Amino acid sequence: MTGVEWRFDKILIWVGSDPDRISAQALQDAVHGFVHKATRYDVLTDEDVPAEALLSVSLSAYDSQVCNGGHWQFAVNTRMNPVLLERVERCLNVIGVDEHIAIFGEFRALMAASASELPPVEMLDDLEMRPPGIDLLDRRFFNARERTSLWDAHSAWLRGSGSLRFATHWQEPELAIAAAIEAHPAYQARRNEIEAQKAADAKAAEERNRHRRNRAVRFLCEAAGLEVRSLHAALPEEVPGVRIIPVETTSGRHFVRFEGPTATLMTEALRPTGFSSNWFFNELHKESVSARIGRFVRRFTT
């Protein structure tokens, strides 16, 4: 740590008892994990972690996106974020992979030249609307990748940068990151924001689910030929994860039992009617008479 107790001057990672023997990919995964954990609560900022870590995760984002769907996917998913682009370019230069440097430079030039023909970057969402020539860059990228391992070059640079600190115990990075976050002046305010957001999200989710459950009640009643007169509040939850909503119909009181994704219409005696659905999507699963008889037989003969 630096003189500021929440700022890291080294990338603190746990890679096992013999750091010299880990693969280049394992090293990259550890660095990525460090950055993710350090910045996950939006308390520590980019200034609080080593620059080498930010370059590393930026290169990882570029490589993984291109490997998954080409340079155009990288452009669409990142919205050509200028900070990310500068970090990728800087990382490629410091690790010294000339072919990749040239390809990335041509990619940026191609996107700049195509800007007048494409939607604004914040509206890029069509993976088919790719500029001419970008597929050729993809082929060159993969050919270069076969000749020069990005991650071997990255690993060699990272190990020689003096920015790594290998933990002696697997819990050390977690504890150090937690202590740094809690020491940050913005921690308490951010924690309050997170808790308030969680509560708001939970309330909104419950309201959405209440509407979904009510729709499911009407859907199942309609499928069973019942006309809904009124819905009641859910009964007290006696079994965790199970809700039962009473519903008055033209044929008397029924109940709809919700457990997991399944909603089941039940009689007043709490017996299944044979009508059930996925209450998130209202997909009806009407059990046939033969299936119900078979289930009844199996219940008492096995």
The CATH number of whichever domain residue 115 belongs to comes to 1.20.1420.60
Residue 116 domain flag: yes
Helices 51-78 and 82-95 pack at an angle, to 10 degrees, of 130
Let me know whether 24 and 150 are in one domain: yes
Phi, psi (degrees; rounded to nearest 5) at 242: -115, 125
Tokens of 82: 């200028």
Let me know whether 15 and 157 are in one domain: yes
As a whole number of angstroms, the distance between CA 56 and CA 242 comes to 47
Let me know whether 242 and 167 are in one domain: no
Higher pLDDT, 292 or 73: 73
Find out whether 48 and 7 touch, Cβ atoms under 8 Å.
Answer: yes
Q: How far is CA 41 from the centre of its chain?
A: 15
Find out whether 231 and 247 touch, Cβ atoms under 8 Å.
Answer: yes
- The predicted-structure confidence for 239-249, as pLDDT tens digits, reads as follows 888 999 999 99
Let me know whether 216 and 87 are in one domain: no
Q: To the nearest whole number, what is the mean pLDDT of the chain?
A: 85
The reported pLDDT for the residue numbered 282 is 57
The reported pLDDT for the residue numbered 170 is 93
Q: 252: domain range?
A: 206-301
Let me know whether 186 and 294 are in one domain: no
Q: Is the dihedral of CA 33, 37, 40, 43 positive or negative?
A: negative
Give the total number of structural domains in the chain: 2
Q: Looking at the predicted structure, is the pLDDT value of residue 15 above 90?
A: yes
- The predicted-structure confidence for 32-76, as pLDDT tens digits, reads as follows 999 999 988 888 889 999 999 999 999 999 999 999 989 999 998
As a whole number of angstroms, the distance between CA 269 and CA 35 comes to 57
Q: Which amino acid is at 253?
A: R
Asked which of 192, 216, 246 is the last residue of a domain, the reply is 192
Q: Rounded mean pLDDT of 21-37?
A: 93
The reported pLDDT for the residue numbered 283 is 58
Residue 221 domain flag: yes
